Amino acid sequence: MYQVIIVDDEAKIRNGIAGLFPWSQLGFEIAGCFSNGKAAYEYTLANHVDLILSDIRMPIMDGLELSEKLLEKKDIKIIFFSGYQDFEYVRRALRTGVVDYLLKPVKYDDLVDCLTRIRDRLNRETHATPAREEENLSYYEKIISLVKNYLDTDYQNATLEQAARLVNLSPNYLSRIMKEHSDVNFSDYLLKTRMENAARMLKDIGYKQYEIADRVGYDNPKNFSRAFHQYFHMTPSQYRKSNGADHDYGGIS
């Protein structure tokens, strides 16, 4: 795990970022939180730190002084939090070696994107071991496995938002993981699961077609029929007949 410290004079911001974000899932660990640059500076000199997330305006020692002093002594990654009014400070910081900045209030997806870039950069610089690469791979595999299991068991009511809550990620980030690290994206896997279960139920004449539509998540039977036809290139009735189960008095074409 890469070691991270958070520096901000507002306790609510420090605790929120430290406690609400799934750091370990991206390969980071919170080593400490500090209310001013001086305390962070002293800690970093005495301990190993890979990344600092810091506010710019703070008492005792601000973020700019912290970055200038540290970057003279250590090879460390620094990200600033800033408001629009601090942009001149940010430009100065970027010239001194600060790697990125995020606008306050910090958005979840922006932080994920930034940390992913930093992690990949640290991996390249430290020649990431196969064990670390395997750790990152297993993280994505675990997320995808949990989501697919959720869709397999709750396909009737499944949503991207609910799946994201299940794995403690934002919907946008989960969608990106599914797209980049799986053989199928979220919506396609949900459609596949619904259609395959619908096909299974159509082979049983005990199910009316409108009941099947509802069971696989379609309030409107016509929408279900349209989706089924697009997926299998035949209507539910045609599929049922082709499988020898054509006695359905609650059918839809």
H-only helix segments in the chain: 11-20, 37-46, 63-73, 87-96, 108-125, 130-153, 160-166, 171-181, 186-202, 209-215, 221-232, 236-242
Could you give the count of Cα atoms lying within 13 Å of 1 in the half-sphere of its Cβ? 13
**12-16, 28-32, 97-101, 143-147: range with lowest mean pLDDT:** 97-101
Q: What integer is the mean pLDDT of 27-47?
A: 92
Residue 134's pLDDT is 56
Residue 221's pLDDT is 93
Residue 104's pLDDT is 78
Q: Is the peptide bond before 105 cis (omega within 30 degrees of 0)?
A: yes
Could you give the count of Cα atoms lying within 13 Å of 196 in the half-sphere of its Cβ? 10
Say which residue, 214 or 167, is predicted with more confidence: 214
Residue 1's pLDDT is 83
Residue 253's pLDDT is 47
Write the pLDDT tens digit of every residue in 225-235: 999 999 999 99
Q: Give yes or no for a contact between 220 and 208, defined as CB atoms under 8 angstroms apart.
A: no
User: How do beta strands 51-55 and 77-82 pair?
Assistant: parallel
Whether the predicted pLDDT of 223 surpasses 70: yes
Residue 89's pLDDT is 67
Whether the predicted pLDDT of 147 surpasses 70: yes
Is residue 85 helix, strand or coil? helix
The average confidence (pLDDT) of the chain is 84
Share of the chain above pLDDT 70, in %: 86
Give the Cα separation of 187 and 147 in Å (integer). 12
Whether the predicted pLDDT of 249 surpasses 50: no
Residue 211 exposed, middle or buried by CB count within 10 Å (0-12, 13-18, 19+): middle
Q: What integer is the mean pLDDT of 18-24?
A: 83
